[in-house]
Amino acid sequence: MISGNIYYDGRLISEYSNAEAIIELVEVVSWQTTPIEYEYDTQTGSFAIVGVPPGEYTPFIRIESGYPYDVESGGDFTARISALNPNIVVHSNEDVINVEWAVVNHVHLISPIDNQERTRSVNAELDKIFPSQTQPIITFEWDSVPNTALYRVTILMKDDTANQSETIVSEPISATQYSIELDANSGNQYYMFSVNGYNSNDELVGFFQYYYTNGSGGWYKFVVN
């Protein structure tokens, strides 16, 4: 049996969300999800997993606190970041293993798009933003991430033809929105936006993902017309 508690920023996840948890164990060699049975207490953040065969596993945890509630989305808490939690080695069916698992919050971007909505596939045409001629400002806004002392906003300009990228913005801010005037793109150029949250110890607590209909990535890609 594997049992323990799930924590966010060093405190029980139940202090931040009483949503249901999805717990998966991925076998390291085959990288396949292993069928398991588990119980999760939404009021305490504790869990117990049974039926785990011998092997080495990477834990995948998702607290379904962000809409929609059947897939990973902005507002969820997850442990999908590499090395956030150590692998678990089960030697036999009789093993009793106690663990403490950490999760981070997935930043819910609400403007200029909502990353809870999956509207395009990985290979679809990029989103187009049309700033007003009188107010050519683009504002990025997101929900507050718990326990965040600062957010780091990053905007890149990518040119696929030259296979080059230029950093337009890499700035720490305390607010949950960032406004900027961006030049119109030309040719195969486009912008890439990301924002992550950090606590007072400069530890990652908020993690940005853009969700496609068939996957996800760490950047919101768009062109300015």
For the chain, the average pLDDT equals 94
Domain map (residue ranges) of the chain = 2-103, 109-224
Q: CB count, 10 Å around CB of 117?
A: 12
CB 131 within 8 A of CB 137: yes
Q: Closest Cα to residue 25, out of 55, 63, 5?
A: 55
Read off the pLDDT of residues 180-217 as tens digits, 9 standing for 90 and up. 999 998 888 999 999 999 999 999 999 999 999 999 99
2-103: CATH topology is Immunoglobulin-like (2.60.40)
Level-2 CATH architecture, domain 109-224: Sandwich (2.60)
Predicted confidence at residue 50, as pLDDT, reads: 94
